[in-house]
């Protein structure tokens, strides 16, 4: 087997593997156990999609199509949403409680 694609993370590797399987190409995702080897740091280069040598040219064609359609950057998350308001409210409540506790000493 040969590496046909080096994914950004394990999820993307499985997406590409699924795309290969949908086109009749057997694929194997490697790097499951290495992904967490560096803890929560965004380790890259460990998630690979392997295909048989004979399937490699077709897999690279599919990768070219996939990369042409993939956005360069993830869509921007709108700020000021409900989660942000809850987080700000929570932090404000914690700050008030700390101020009350310090004032009581």
Does the pLDDT at position 90 exceed 90?
A: no
Helix (H) or strand (E) holding 7: none
pLDDT tens readout for residues 21-40: 999 999 999 877 665 555 55
The mean predicted confidence, pLDDT, of the chain is: 82
Does the pLDDT at position 59 exceed 90?
A: yes
This prediction has a pTM of 0.59
Domain limits of the chain?
Answer: 2-69
Considering just the CA atoms, what is the radius of gyration of the chain in Å?
Answer: 22
**CA angle (32 as vertex; 56, 1 as ends), nearest 5:** 25
The confidence band for 84, taking pLDDT boundaries of 50, 70 and 90, is: confident
Would you list the DSSP string of 10-43?
HHHHHHHHHHHHHTT--EEEE-HHHHGGGTTS--
Report the pLDDT averaged over residues 6-22. 91
């Amino acid at each position: 087997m040969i590496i046909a694609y080096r994914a950004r993370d394990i999820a993307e590797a499985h997406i590409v593997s699924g795309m290969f399987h949908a086109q009749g190409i057997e694929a194997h995702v490697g790097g499951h156990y290495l992904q967490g080897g560096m803890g929560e740091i965004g380790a890259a280069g460990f998630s690979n999609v392997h295909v048989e040598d004979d399937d490699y040219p077709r897999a690279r064609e599919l990768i070219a199509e996939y990369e042409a359609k993939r956005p360069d950057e993830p869509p921007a998350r709108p700020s000021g949403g409900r989660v942000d308001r809850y987080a700000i409210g929570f932090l404000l409540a914690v700050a008030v409680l700390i101020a009350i506790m310090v004032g009581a000493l």
